[in-house]
Chains A and B, each alone.
Chain A
Amino acid sequence: MKIVREVLSPLIAVIAAFVVGGLIIAILGDNPFEAFGLLLSNSFGSVRDIGWTLHLATPLIFTGLAVAVAFRCGLLNIGAEGQLYVAAFATAWVGIKFGGTVVDIFGKKEDWSWASLPGWLLVPLCVLTAVAAGALWGAIPGILKAKFGSHEVINTIMLNFIAIALVGYFTQYFYKIPGDALMQTAPIGAAAAIPRLNEFLPFIPADVPLNVSFILAILMCMAVYVYLWKTKWGYELRAVGQNPDAAEYGGISSKKQIVVAMTVSGGLAGMVAISEVLGVRHNYYHEFSGEVGFLGIAVALLGRNHPFGVFIGALFFAVLQRGEIFVDAFTRYVSKDLGWVLQAIIILFVACLQMYSRSTRTKGKV
């Protein structure tokens, strides 16, 4: 009975989104059934499509988990976007500085690295950097809330803008190869790259960028589940989320848990750097994410802030993302901004259906 209730409201929200989205498509002059057909057939049609969908789901699992952990402590982390940019740049920086990157500046070779570490050392170093940088950027709004009571929503939004400006500055002035027309850093050392799944599973086409970070994402779902429901720390975090006053009365410091939750949340968001920088792009490309950090909110809400729900929610939005490209290309009027609209409607309906109990948020002034 409980499981039915858990699944029912996300289902209603998704159906509502498709009904409203379909109406919008029809008003704009396209056939909604055709658009949604394109959405689904290009996500599951072949092994290649499924591989792409899982690849697109990977960063969404990380950001969905990030938002869910914060939610469980009564915090809304809208800063996953900024956290993952800081993490991605820091990861690329370590990959350049310790990966033996030699750049070619108008025919002249220049060594930008301090060292050239082997892969078994470089990859863990990059992974740690990704998590640490994200955690650091996430901790800032946590500390601000714990110490000054300023609301995490406004602070994380402000920190998103600051992160993008800061990382853009370092990319443009220090780590972009002179003459490169794109806003991106020099490539990281080849040893920092993590393998694609096609190396182990040859039936996946070689052009699908699905990589081992997907396995990490699944492991993180399990780890977050264990952390939140099987450890004392997770119990304390959730206790603060459910009722900070009662938690304090029981000897749990809500301030400490707020900082911990935002730090863990930021670290999870930072893991996007593992899949995107080490797995796909092998450099930092400015503003590569677009909306992965924000989508994490919808993913977490749809997944009822449960790690396994997050996994399913991430798959759902990966289907949307994969399909959007085809809807954009093959319909006359509908652009991929449809994704934002569907996402907003889902969040609105989930919120209206009381997807997470309204008493779980710590009070904050907005």
Chain B
Amino acid sequence: MSEIFTFALIFSALRLSTPLIFAALGGLFSERSGVINIALEGLMLMGAFTAAVMTYELNNPFLGLLCGVIAGGALAFVYAVATIKFEADQVVAGMAINFLMFGLPALISGSVYDSTGSTPQLLISQQLPSLGKLLHLENVPILPSVNFATFLVLVLVPIIYYVLYKTPFGLRLRAVGENPAAADAAGVNVIKLRYTAVVISGLLAAAGGAYLSIGQSSLFTRNMTAGRGFIALAALILAKWRPVPVLLACLFFGFTEALTNAIQGAPWAKMPSGEDIPIQFIQMIPYVLTIIVLAGFIGLSRAPKALGIPYRKES
């Protein structure tokens, strides 16, 4: 049993947490400003698909990542127009964005690459590199095991903490999510701030998706996020909408996923009958865990007060 608790497991957990941290930090911006973001899944898919296509076409993962992030921001802007300008129900509009991204990538890649929903395989040299490879320090320990995107997101956490709690922008953002009318009276442009926050959430979630397609794997496949956007949302709730706990909650989910991967096929992990544990039960673990976490912690956590309520200026 002890042999699975190794450095390999820790790095695996870090790898698997990376897309979750990006997406949950994205959700943090949107929800702190008072806009529910159930569209994280679709925004991740947008980032994953665009990054895979552009990396393949431009032969450069960093440009691919950038394009994916911009595309995510653009899709989030559509979501922002629907929910902020037209005051559409945020959960319904969010699911519409998700449904769109179930179909659109497959529709496009089907016609452009004549596939059934995936993009062409990338070469190893086209994938997002590890730090060791990027800095040509392949002999230094740890660096070859940490992907550039993982490094990026770990750097982002303190930056986002600083932005949220130490800058005027962060103060206004939090005020708008708690009491938009008071923020408005104090001279904050509530609508503009919410647009900004939702677009930032799109940029971040898409970066998480891009890591999935061009970092962790080497192509986009249909619906490759497999619910990670929703798990990120659960992590955000578990973290009570705060950046550092978001990191920890996502690491927790990533660790369980790494553990389930390690259990699969491990010699000691057998059913009482001596057979392998059926893969279906291993697949279920993160989803069951999410339900338990939500049921156990929601009572203790307090959402931003204005979450889900469109703001209309009194005239």
Chain A residues close to B by CB (< 8 Å): 24, 28-29, 76, 78, 144, 147-151, 153-155, 157-159, 161-162, 165-166, 168-169, 172-173, 294, 297-298, 301, 332-335, 337-341, 343-345, 347-348, 350-354, 356, 358, 361, 363-366
Contact = CB atoms under 8 A, between A and B. Distances in A.
A165 B281 contact: yes
A363 B308 contact: yes
Given A154-B294, A334-B111, A341-B107, A162 B95 contact: no
B230 interface: yes
B294 A340 contact: no
Chain A binding surface, main DSSP class = helix
Chain B contact patch, size range: 35 or more
A162 B91 contact: no
30 contacts: A144-B294, A148-B296, A151-B298, A153-B91, A154-B230, A154-B290, A154-B294, A158-B230, A159-B287, A161-B283, A165-B287, A172-B278, A337-B103, A337-B117, A338-B107, A339-B103, A340-B103, A340-B106, A341-B100, A344-B97, A344-B103, A347-B92, A351-B93, A354-B86, A361-B91, A363-B308, A366-B91, A366-B233, A366-B303, A366-B307
Given A162-B288, A352-B86, A301 B92 contact: yes
B88 A348 contact: yes
Contacts of B111: 28-29, 332-335
A273 B310 CA distance: 39
B38 A366 contact: yes
Interface string B74-102: 00000000100011111111011111101
Contacts of B295: 144, 147-148, 150
B159 interface: no
A166 B280 contact: yes
B291 interface: yes
Given A28-B108, A158-B227, A340-B104, A348 B96 contact: yes
B210 to A, nearest CB: 21
Contacts of B87: 354, 358
Which residue, B103, B227, B278, B281, has most C-beta atoms of chain A within 10 A? B103
B107 A28 contact: yes
Contacts of B234: 154
Contacts of B283: 161, 165
B110 A150 contact: no
Given A76-B91, A169-B280, A333-B111, 19 more contacts: A150-B298, A154-B294, A158-B288, A159-B291, A161-B283, A162-B288, A165-B287, A169-B278, A298-B99, A335-B111, A337-B117, A340-B100, A341-B100, A344-B100, A347-B96, A348-B100, A351-B89, A354-B86, A356-B89
